[in-house]
Structures are given as structure tokens and as C-alpha cells.
Amino acid sequence: MASLAPRLRQRRKAARPQELLEAALTLFVDKGLAATRTDDVARLAGVSKGTLYLYYASKDELFKAVVHTYLVQVIAEGTDLTEQFDGNSAALLRLLVHTWWARVGSAKASGLVPIIMAESAHFPELAQFYVDHVIEPTHRLLGRAVQRGIDRGEFRPVDTRMAVLALIAPVHFLVMHQHSLAPCAGSLTDMAPETYLDMQLDLLLNGLTAPPRP
Amino acid sequence: MASLAPRLRQRRKAARPQELLEAALTLFVDKGLAATRTDDVARLAGVSKGTLYLYYASKDELFKAVVHTYLVQVIAEGTDLTEQFDGNSAALLRLLVHTWWARVGSAKASGLVPIIMAESAHFPELAQFYVDHVIEPTHRLLGRAVQRGIDRGEFRPVDTRMAVLALIAPVHFLVMHQHSLAPCAGSLTDMAPETYLDMQLDLLLNGLTAPPRP
Amino acid sequence: MASLAPRLRQRRKAARPQELLEAALTLFVDKGLAATRTDDVARLAGVSKGTLYLYYASKDELFKAVVHTYLVQVIAEGTDLTEQFDGNSAALLRLLVHTWWARVGSAKASGLVPIIMAESAHFPELAQFYVDHVIEPTHRLLGRAVQRGIDRGEFRPVDTRMAVLALIAPVHFLVMHQHSLAPCAGSLTDMAPETYLDMQLDLLLNGLTAPPRP
Amino acid sequence: MASLAPRLRQRRKAARPQELLEAALTLFVDKGLAATRTDDVARLAGVSKGTLYLYYASKDELFKAVVHTYLVQVIAEGTDLTEQFDGNSAALLRLLVHTWWARVGSAKASGLVPIIMAESAHFPELAQFYVDHVIEPTHRLLGRAVQRGIDRGEFRPVDTRMAVLALIAPVHFLVMHQHSLAPCAGSLTDMAPETYLDMQLDLLLNGLTAPPRP
DNA sequence: CATGAATGAGAGTTCATTCAT
DNA sequence: AATGAATGAACTCTCATTCAT
């Protein structure tokens, strides 16, 4: 009996950082970085304010940890389906975009993106971090898929970088709006995000697709 | 002679709001909303803190005024070139996008966009305002140009809304990056924004263009 | 025609201080000393803020001038009816109290009394002023009337000072309540002030009156 | 041993509000409401400014708490001696008045009365509170004592309310002067407050007392 | 490890007062 | 004499951070 208590404690202790990050994510996304009080984060995590500082040296560090956990790690986990996929490349791109949307874009964590955008001016370290761990890997992943399409003669030999950006832009646009203007603007949001993504992919793939060989 | 004195004063007074808005725009874009002190705005405008409050009731009101002056008004002035343009619609779209970029996107004021995105949760009034006066007019303007292309048989009969969003997304993406990640990310920014826009337009227009009638 | 303009101006100029005092009195009584803004006083008087300072060196000086004009002068004007009165002394006291009430107590200016009471702790100069010019003259005036009653055998040979204080206390009490608690307390204020004064005089005069000589 | 540590802390925490109220009372009475800085209150209580706001949400709330603690509670504790008193009613009134003076009037807290009077326009809630919890109970208490005297044939059948007001007025007058004009005016204050009260009671009781039955 | 009372620098805002016009 | 734009010291209140317990 007595031997179980410490183990339970340890388990709770080990869970602390996760609970704090979860609470911080919720509040940062909900109220913004400046408007979120460390008090509230601690309370929502069910610990005292002092405990928060036991795990994270400052509010900024906490924010960085949240970004790391909920954006970077998720991206890192993002399996590159390109190698083992054996359908056509248009289908691969559709799959990649929808998978990303399902796992990241539609998750609460995507609410961090507008914050990062707004704060990166005075948070260059964070911006670099985001570029290195989110932007670059995503570009590489999508880049390989586009290149595959070109290699296989499915796509025209376009500038790969541009095609990647053309894939990313609507996704980025969607994420930003979901967390900012969606509640105000009807025209965009009266459509399911998945539909929007599909239609944007339609347009783009139509531009990418190589004409049938005569 | 004596009548000139008050006029000079009046001129200074009349210029104050502009000077304050200019200073506020610079600092808001540079340091963010929360990190900008009313003190700094006043000092940069060359007046004392109290003077700022003579013209704007609060920091929030000042921010709203900045958005109104530098985003909304500029957008409102945006001429719709669609009516008088008589080239092909692809060229019209290129012109509209580049004009917008030259007049708004590349201006300091576009740095407000990330801030609005991040703060819209706490500024619902402002978000609505932004949607009504910036988003909606832009959509209408581009929508007409796309419709023109369809009507003239230059474009495929695509969903107009989708085409507009496909035009806006890369522009929005560019604006966000210019003010956030540009200093960190090389891949995108080692290219002139105009080049980026042109190449994105290439891709999109390729997807829009109707096949030559047999 | 031209000769009338300057005279009118002069008349207005001469009236300025009076208009400022009137406005100040209204606001001080209405909102209190601290809560009254010099701006409001000037605006209510129909002049600019700068003009106020042309006539009164500071807010405190303005307040003192208001007290002087509306309390001290009125008291000073208060005719001493004692000499020429030839009725009985009880009637004289009734007349004096009711006259005071009619001319001072019921006037807007009596609203200054609570303010003076509250501020005199950090305004010793004003307190002294009030004592010298309001309290003392009032005491002398009433004192003579009481002494007359004693001299004429109408009143018992009580301590004159005490009788005067017994006359003043209910009047003071009434003034304080009129301007403070009256809107909240019903028990006292559902009676006309004159009735209250009369009944208090009844009680006091009953205590003062000498028993009929056997 | 370890269990004592938190208890000591708790004791300090429990004492804080009292210490803050004590400090606030002193300063409010001494310097007035507007002239008292929250900084000063905190410093006098030996804590930092922030700590004050841990216990009281604003300066106004602090003031209300002071009034509640030092006026309302003291009044509420005021025992009604009327029931168990078996001397004559004149003696009872003397006892009640002198007891009140000793416990409330002569205490520092009575300095709040002028402030309440002056501020009640901006604190209607507080004024009502004061009327309900201070004025009304006092009237009831004194009213019963006066009625007793009438019932026992010791007093003339006067209007009870008027007699109560005649008892309160000199006490109120005394309190106001103690905290306002006393340092300036000699005529009243060169006499012990108790003497003043006794002499005022003399006059009043003389007016109240029923003539000996023939 | 955990707490939460305490801190105090710093923010936005107000307003009596000044002075160029 | 009159103006009213400008000032800036002073104020209340906040909140990230610390540390005794």
C-alpha cells in the first residue's frame, strides 16, 4: 500500500509538465499570449503558480515549450508517405494535405500560428525555431511529393518551391482564418474546411498536371 | 498678421493626429501591440504622453484608428480597374494583384495584418470591421475580374469564390511572412516578392485558363 | 454703436468672476471638491480653462473664493435683528433661525459645509477662515439674542454659549443631512425642514424659558 | 515542528486585513479620502502596494471595508441598556450618550463621519449602508429610551422622533467639530467633550422633563 | 517538490497648470 | 483679456516572478 503512493505521486509529477502545457495551449490560443496570465495557466492545470515556475523558467519559455510540443513534435511525427505511396502524385498531395489538416490544422494547436506570426517580430528566436522545425520540414516533405510527380511525368516541370508554396498558402490561409476572422466572415467559413482544401487542390493540380502525351 | 498666428496653431493641431498615427503604426508594426508603450508613441510623434490622450481615448482606440487609416482607407481607395481594362483577364488579374502589392502589401501598414489576426479574439469589433471593410471589398473586386474572364471564355467556369481565395491566399501568405518569418527563412525571401507573386499567378492562371477552342 | 461694444465687453468681463464662482459652487456642491474638474467649471461658466486661471490662481483658491462669496458674505450681510426687535426673545430666536435657514441653509451654498468639514483637516487655513468668518459671527449674533432673553427675564440664566450651540446643532445637523444622507434616509426628510426647525426650537425654548414668576 | 511553520504564515495572512484596515483608517481620517495614496496605506501597514490589492480590490472597496469594520460593526455591538436599566430615564439618556461617546465618538473611527458626509454623493451605496446600519439603529435605540421616559411619566409626551434628533444633533455636531474645526475654534473645544454633552443634555432634559404632578 | 503570499517595477490614464498665440 | 493645446507629474492598478515555509 505504502509502496504504491510514491509511484502514483511520481506518475502525477511526471504528468505535470504535460498538464501545464495543455492548459497553456488552451489559454494562449483562446486569449492570446499577452492576455494569458500565468495564474490562469497554473489554475487550469490544477497547480499553484509557483509550481509552473518549477518547470518553466518564464512565460516565454512556457510558450516556446507549447510550440515545441504541439507544433514541432506533431510535424516531426508526420510520416512521410511519399516513399511507400504508389498511387498517382495528385492523390498523394491530396492525402498529404488532408492528413496534415486532420492532424494539425484542425487541432487546437493550430491556433498558435497566428500568435507566432504576430510575436515573431519581437521573438526572433521563436521565429527561427518555427522556421527550422515547422516550415522547413514541411517544405521538404511536400517538395519530395511534387518532385515525385514531375519525375513520374504526372506534373509539368514547374519550380518545385513554387508548387510547394502554392500548396501551403491555402492551408496557411485557412488556419489563420479559422482562428481569427472565421467568427466574423461568413463567405469563407460557410464551407467545410475539407471542401475548401479539396477545391483549392483542384485548381492547383489542374495547373500542375502535365498535358496527356499525344 | 494676427490672424496667421491661430492658423499656424490650428495647422499643428490638425497635423497631430496624423503624426500620432504614423508613430503608432511604426511602433505597432515594429514591436507589436502589447509591447508598444503609449509613452513611446507620444515620444516618437514628438509630443508628450498627455497629448496622445487628447486625440485618442485609449491605446485600443489608437490602434483602431491606425487600422482604419492605414488599412481600411487605403483599401477603400483601391480603384476597380476591371471596368476600364480591355486586355485579357489573366493580365487584369496580374495587374490587380501587383497593384495591390505595390500600394498595400509592400507598405508598412501591411504589418498590421498579423497583429489583427492575433488580436481579433480580443477585438471582435475590429475583426468584424476588418472583414467588412477589407476582406469583403477585396473579394468583390477580384470576383468581378474572375467572372469577367469566365464570361469572356478566357477562364474555365470554375467556382468564382474559390478562384478569388486562390488569388488571395498567396498574397496573404506573402504579407504574413514579410512581417514575421522573412528575416529567418531564406527559401522564400531570397526572391523578390513580385517574382513570387508572378510565379504563383502563373500556376493559378494555368489552372484557370480554358483550353483553346477547337 | 461702437461705443457700446466695449462697455458691454467690460460688463461681461466684470461678470466673469461671478460666473466662475457660480459654476464652481454648483459643481463643488454637486460632485465634491476632488471630483470637480477645473475643465468642467470653466465650461459651465462659458469660458476656457485658461481664463479660470486668470482669475483664480488654483483650484484651492477658487474653492476659497466660493466659500468666501457664498458663505462668508451671506453671513456678513446677515442683519442682526436683535437690536430693533421688540417682541419676546423666543420669537426673536425663531425669527433668526428661520431667516438663516431661508437665506443660507436652504440655499445651494450650504452644500459647501460638508465639504469644508471633510477637507478642513488638510486645509487648516480654510478651516480657520470658516471659523473666523462664519462660526464666530453666528455665535455672536445668536449669543446676543440669548443674552437679551436672559436679561429680560424670559430665559433662565443658562450658559449662553451652550444655548447658542444648542441652537446651532440642529441647524448644522439639518444642513449636513440635506446634502448627504437625505436621499437615503426617509425618517428625517419626510418632514419639511421648517417643521423640523420649529419642533427643535420648541424643545429648546421649553428648556430655556424661565418659569412664570409667582 | 514542521506543522507550525504554515500556521505562522496563516496567522500573518489572517492579520493582514486588520493591519491594512488600521492603516487605512488612520490615513483616511488624517488626510482624507482623495489625499490618501494606496501606496501610503500599504507602507503604513508594512506591506507592499501589491499586497493591498490582494485583499481589497480597489481603494473604494478598502474605504467601504474600513467603514464597515470601524463604524458599522461597532454600532452593531452597541448594547441597548434600556431594558435592564432601572434608574430614571434622564439618567438612562445620559448613560447612553456618554457610552456612545466613549466607545464611538471619541474613537479615531468617528473621523470617518465627515468623509462619509462629503462623499456620500459619489458613494450612494455607502450612504445607504450608513443610514441602514448606523443611523437607523441609533434612532431605534434612543427612541426606546425616550419612549420609556414618556411611558413612566418622567418626560412630557413629546414627539419621540424629535427628541431623538435633539439628542443626536449635539453629538453629531461634536463629532464633526472634533475632526474639522476643533484645532481652529477655541470657543467650543476649550471644554471637555463630556462637559459639552452634559450641558447639552441638561438643556434638553429640562425641556423634556414633565412638571411634577400636583 | 509544492505552495501561494508577497513583491515592485511598470503600465495606462488623468488632470491641474502653463504659455504661445 | 482670452484661448485651448500641450504638458508631465502623479495616481491607481496589474502581473510576472520570487522565496519562506
Q: Tens digit of pLDDT for each residue in B140-178?
A: 999 999 999 999 999 999 999 999 999 999 999 999 998
- Residue range B25-62, pLDDT digits in tens: 999 999 999 999 999 999 999 999 999 999 999 999 99
Which one of B34, B173, B203 has the shortest CB-CB distance to A163? B203
- Contact by Cβ (8 Å): B72, B134: yes
pTM (2 decimals)?
0.89
Of B128, B135, B181, the CB nearest to A120: B181
Phi, psi of A155 (to 5 degrees): -110, 155
Distance B40 CA to F8 C1' (A): 14
Q: How far apart are CA A212 and CA B81, in angstroms?
A: 37
Residues 6+ apart with CB under 8 A from B2: none
Q: What is the mean pLDDT of residues A112-137?
A: 88
The answer to whether the beta carbons of residues D56 and D62 sit under 8 Å apart is yes
Cite the DSSP H helix spans in C108-192. Answer: 112-119, 124-130, 136-151, 160-179
Please, which positions of strand E sit below 7 A from a protein CB?
A: 1-21
Cell of C19: 460666473
**For residue D58, which phi and psi values (nearest 5 degrees)?**
-160, 170
pLDDT of the residue at B6 = 46
Residue A12 has pLDDT above 50, yes or no: yes
- Identify nearest nucleotide to residue D62 by CA to C1′ distance: F12
**Searching chain C, which residue's CA lies closest to the CA of residue D211?**
C211
- Domain D64-208: give its CATH code: 1.10.357.10
Considering only the beta carbons, identify the residue of C136, C172, C185 that sits closest to D131: C185
**Cell representation of residue D37:** 495614496
Task: Give pLDDT, residue D5.
Answer: 43
Q: What pLDDT does B3 receive?
A: 41
Query: Could you give the CA distance from residue D214 to residue D206 in angstroms, rounded to a whole number?
Result: 18
What confidence tier does B1 reach under pLDDT thresholds 50, 70, 90?
Answer: very low
Task: Give which of B136, B111, B146 is closest to B31, Cα–Cα.
Answer: B111
Q: Does B136 touch chain A (CB under 8 A)?
A: yes
- CATH class for the region spanning A60-208: mainly alpha
Closest among C44, C33, C193 to C120, alpha carbons compared: C33
D173 close to C168: Cβ distance less than 8 angstroms: yes
Q: What pLDDT was estimated at residue B104?
A: 86
D35 in reach of chain C (CB within 8 A): yes
Half-sphere exposure of B38 (CA within 13 A, CB side): 16
* Contacts for B121 with CB less than 8 Å, ≥ 6 apart: A30, A31, A32, A179, A180
Output the distance from A127 CA to E9 C1' rounded to whole Å: 28
CB-based contact D118 C121, cutoff 8 Å: no
Q: Is residue A185's pLDDT more than 50?
A: yes
Q: In chain C, what percentage of residues exceed pLDDT 70?
A: 88
Domain range list for chain D: 1-56, 64-208
Rama region for D32: left / alpha / beta (φ>0; ψ in -120 to 50; rest): left
**Average pLDDT of the segment spanning D17-39:** 95
Residue A4 has pLDDT above 50, yes or no: no
Q: Which of A156, A150, A153, A147 is nearest to A208 (CA)?
A: A156
| Chain segment D38-47, per-residue pLDDT in tens | 999 999 999 9
- Cβ contact D32–C122 (<8 Å): yes
A53 touches strand F (CB under 7 A): yes
Neighbours of chain B (3+ CB pairs under 8 A): A
Q: What's the pLDDT tens digit per position in C42-54?
A: 999 999 999 999 9
For range C152-171, the mean pLDDT: 95
CA separation for the pair B16, B21 (Å, rounded): 8
Q: Which residue type, as a one-letter code, is found at position D177?
A: H
Q: Which residues 34-53 of chain D have a CB under 7 Å from nucleic chain F?
A: 36-39, 49-50, 53
Q: Cα–Cα distances in Å, from A50 out to A42, A43, C88, D47? A: 8, 11, 81, 20
Work out the pLDDT band at A30, boundaries 50, 70, 90: very high
pLDDT at residue C2, as a whole number? 45
Share of chain B above pLDDT 70, in %: 89
* C162-181 tens-digit pLDDT: 999 999 999 999 999 989 88
Interatomic CA distance for residues C73 and C47, integer angstroms: 25
Nucleotide F9 C1' to residue A153 CA (A): 74
- Type of residue at D194: E
Residue B212 has pLDDT above 60, yes or no: yes
Which residues 91-130 of D are in CB contact (within 8 Å) with C? 111, 114-122, 124, 127-128, 130
- Inter-residue contact C90 to C154 (CB < 8 Å): yes
For residue A51, which nucleotide's C1' is closest to its Cα? E2
CA gap C67, B16 in Å, rounded? 41
- Location of C-alpha cell 452644500: C111
Domain C65-208 has CATH 1.10.3300.10: no
Q: How many residues does chain D have?
A: 214
Residue-averaged pLDDT of chain D? 88
Q: For the structural domain made of B67-208, what CATH number should be given?
A: 1.10.357.10
The pLDDT tens digits of the residues spanning D71-121 come to: 887 776 667 788 889 999 999 999 999 998 998 899 999 999 999 999 988
**Residues D20-32: what's their mean pLDDT?**
96
Closest nt to residue D46, judged CA to C1': E6
Instruction: Give residues with Cβ within 8 angstroms of B40, minimum separation 6.
Output: B27
Touching C: D residues 53-82, CB under 8 Å: none
3-class DSSP state of B209? strand
D157 or A188, which is more confident? D157
Is A122 in Cβ contact with B35 (below 8 Å)? Answer: yes
pLDDT class for A13, splitting at 50, 70, 90? Answer: low
Task: Tell me how close the Cα of C202 comes to any Cα of chain D, in angstroms.
Answer: 8
Which one is predicted more confidently, B152 or B83? B152
Measured CA to CA, the distance from residue C24 to residue C41 in angstroms comes to: 5
Q: Are D122 and C114 in contact (CB under 8 A)?
A: no
DSSP D29-70: HHH-TTT--HHHHHHHHTS-HHHHHHH-SSHHHHHHHHHIII
Of B30, B136, B173, the CB nearest to A169: B173
CA distance to partner chain B, nearest, from residue A50 (Å): 25
Q: Lowest-confidence range among A20-24, C72-76, D163-167? A: C72-76
For testing the chain A interface, which of B122, B180, B194 should be mutated: the one with the most A CBs within 10 Å?
B180
The answer to whether A59 and A97 are in contact (CB under 8 A) is no
pLDDT value at A169 more than 90:
yes
Distance from CA of B101 to the nearest CA of A (A): 16
Signed CA dihedral, C193, C195, C198, C202: sign only: negative
Q: How far apart are CA D38 and CA D32, in angstroms?
A: 12
Cβ-defined contact of C32 to D119 (cutoff 8 Å): yes
| Best residue of D26, D180, D195, D208 to probe chain C, by most C CBs closer than 10 Å | D180
Question: For residue C187, is pLDDT > 70?
Answer: no
Look over chain B and give the mean of its residue pLDDT values, rounded to a whole number: 87
Q: Are B181 and A130 in contact (CB under 8 A)?
A: yes
**Cα–Cα distance measured from residue A67 to residue A56, given in angstroms and rounded to the nearest whole number:** 13
Domain B4-56 classification at class level: mainly alpha
Which chain D residues have a beta carbon less than 8 Å from that of C158?
203
Q: Which CATH number describes the domain made up of A1-56?
A: 1.10.10.60
CA distance C210 to C88: 13
What pLDDT score does C103 carry? 86
Q: Which amino acid is at A24?
A: A
Sign of the CA dihedral with C44 first, then C45, C51, and C56 last: negative
Where residue C1 falls among pLDDT bands split at 50, 70, 90? very low
Residue B179 pLDDT greater than 60, yes or no: yes
CA–CA distance, B134 with B116 (Å, rounded to integer): 12
Specify whether the CB–CB gap between C144 and C80 falls below 8 A.
yes
- Residues 6 or more apart whose CB falls under 8 angstroms from that of A177 comprise A185, A188, A189
Grid-cell match 473621523, residue found = D111
Return the SS3 of B214: coil
Mean predicted confidence (pLDDT) in D129-152 = 91
Phi, psi values for residue A209, rounded to 5°: -60, 135
CB proximity C31 to D under 8 Å: yes
Q: Rounded CA gap, C165 and C142, in Å?
A: 9
pLDDT in tens, D65-80: 999 999 887 776 667 7
Cell numbers 471644554 correspond to what residue?
D191
pLDDT of residue D10: 56
Among the listed residues C141, C123, C16, the one whose alpha carbon sits nearest the alpha carbon of residue C77: C141
d(CA B122, CA A32): 8
The CA-atom distances, in angstroms, between A106 and each of A92, A111, A112, B161, D108 are 20, 9, 12, 22, 64
Residue C168 CA to residue C179 CA, distance in Å, equals 17
What letter represents residue D155's amino acid?
F
**3-state SS record for B55-121:** HCCCHHHHHHHHHHHHHHHHHHHCCCCCCCCCCCHHHHHHHHHHHHHHHHHCCHHHHHHHHHHHHCC
On the CB side of C181, how many CA atoms lie within 13 Å of its CA?
25
CA nearest to A127 within chain B? B181
Q: Which nucleotide is nearest to B56 (CA to C1')?
A: E13
| CA distances, D31 to each of C1, D14, D36, D37, D122 (Å) | 56, 27, 6, 10, 18
pLDDT at B54: 96
A168 and B CB contact within 8 Å: yes
If pLDDT is split at 50, 70 and 90, which confidence band does B187 have?
A: low
- pLDDT tens for A51-107 read 999 999 999 999 999 999 998 887 777 677 888 898 999 999 999 999 989 988 999
DSSP symbols for chain D: -TTHHHHHHHHHHHHHHHHHHHHHHHHHHHH-TTT--HHHHHHHHTS-HHHHHHH-SSHHHHHHHHHIIIIIHHHHH----TTT--S-HHHHHHHHHHHHIIIIITSGGGGHHHHHHHHTTT-HHHHHHHIIIIIHHHHHHHHHHHHHHHHTTSB----HHHHHHHHHHHHHHHHHHHTTTTTT-HHHHTS-HHHHHHHHHHHHHHHHBPPPP-
